[in-house]
Amino acid sequence: MKTVIAFDVSKGNSVIVAYDKNKEYIFESKINHTQEGFSLLQKKINYLLKTYGQTPEFVLESTGVYSNCIEHYLSELNYSYCVLNPLEASFQTKLLRRNKTDISDAHMLAKTHFSADRRPKYLQDRYYVEMRAMSRHYHDIELEKNVYNNRIHKLLQETFPEYEKIFKNKSIMFYRIIQEFPHAESLLKSSKTIVRNRLKKCTKKNYAIKKLEERAIQLREAANNSVPSVKENSFTCKQIRRNAKRVLELEEEQQLLIEEMALLSEDKTEYKILMSIPGIQKTTACRLIGELGDIRRFKSNKQVNAYVGIDIARYQSGNVHYKDHINKRGNKRLRGMLFFMIVSMLGTKKQNHIVEYYYKLKKQPYSKHHKVAIIACINKFLKFTHHLIIHEKFYDYGEATNTNQP
């Protein structure tokens, strides 16, 4: 065991402590996350290197954006380091009685490093870091869209609530048409032909004229039967237009982001492999890479399951035995993405062994609950995807059905 330097990271500064291989205390210091602070850290590292003849090991607890600068500094100098998530750090450093301070936390991280099994952090290629940042930004945009959609829902209850019954799926057409006719009265002032032409302008899809005309008639009938609680010239209509415009802007930003991610990924093997799987489109493939990162760093699919948070949690004590459930200690964004990906796959008409596996689980006499079957399908998807990427193989339906039996 080498000497160890442990960091307790805070906003803008860190407490560092060092112990030698005999668990003897060497020094304790506080550094700021500045050029001067990192220069002091390098002097401490050089002192240990000169005194003990080897580069120390480094350990720190992840504190989000605050610990990123420490990780960046260590990786740039090619130092190997261990990063613990807060829950893991809490379990490893917990004592029966403990006074918690930044200094004591740093000392406990250093002392437990000699007995705990800690693996150095796997340093991923810069590509995966960029993809993760873009995927998280995509998710943030999605959350912002939800805020505006909730506002639109509330406002339409006052001007034309029937809109949401006609447009069950909030497409681009929906947002554009409510910009044109935010109020039932404004729609009634236009003829069936004008409404039909507006609907045609509101989408890039090549809808049949008859279908658009039927939708126009449906809208006019709903508007004729609607009872708005505000006038056509009310500020509420302006709010609807503004919110709808903002949602369309966010939709466009998401599309540009996906195009950028796809361009960045077009030469990557895992992107091509994911795109070869039936039911996976450009958006899903890019976001899966962004959230999963380099899947090659996992030695088995069980490690992938733990990262996602679908590994099984069991509790049994004496005669008490709780029902098994998934851990949910993992990447919740990725878990949600995979769930809706499987749901989307169920609607595909292409041959897909994941879909067939779902319906097999739903068959009697041992019919699984919908969510249980979905989680089983996620497990199967992660298992064969990990296998395909590790061995650089494209999806083959025949091989998948023969080699991935439950």
Give me the count of residues in the chain.
406
pLDDT for the residue 97: 60
Whether residue 218 contacts residue 267, with contact meaning beta carbons closer than 8 Å, is answered with no
Give the residue from 287, 254, 286 showing the smallest Cα distance to 272.
Answer: 286
* C-beta of residue 159 within 8 angstroms of C-beta of residue 238: no
68 vs 11, 40, 163, 176, 382, CA distance in Å? 11, 18, 47, 42, 28
pLDDT of residue 71: 93
CA dihedral 64, 70, 75, 79 (to 10 degrees): -130
Q: Please give the backbone phi and psi of residue 249, each rounded to the nearest 5 degrees, phi first.
A: -65, -40
129-262: what CATH class? mainly alpha
Could you identify the residue written with the tokens 């009685």? 97
* 316-317/320-321 β-pairing: antiparallel
- With CA atoms as reference, report the closest residue to 186 among 240, 150, 139: 240
Q: Which helix (H) or strand (E) holds 323?
A: none
Q: Is this model's pTM higher than 0.75 or not?
A: yes
Question: Where along the chain do its domains lie?
Answer: 4-123, 129-262, 272-403
Residues of the chain with pLDDT below 50 are 404-406
Count Cα atoms within 13 angstroms, Cβ side, for 326.
Answer: 22
Partners of 309 in beta bridges: none
Distances (CA, A) of 7 to 33, 52, 107, 324: 12, 20, 9, 37
What DSSP assignment string belongs to 221-285? Answer: HHHHH---SS-TTSHHHHHHHHHHHHHHHHHHHHHHHHHHHHHHHTT-HHHHHHHTSTT--HHHH
CATH 3.40.50.300 fits 4-123, yes or no: no
Instruction: State the pLDDT at residue 406.
Output: 43
Neighbours of 238 (CB within 10 A): 12
What's residue 68's pLDDT? Answer: 92
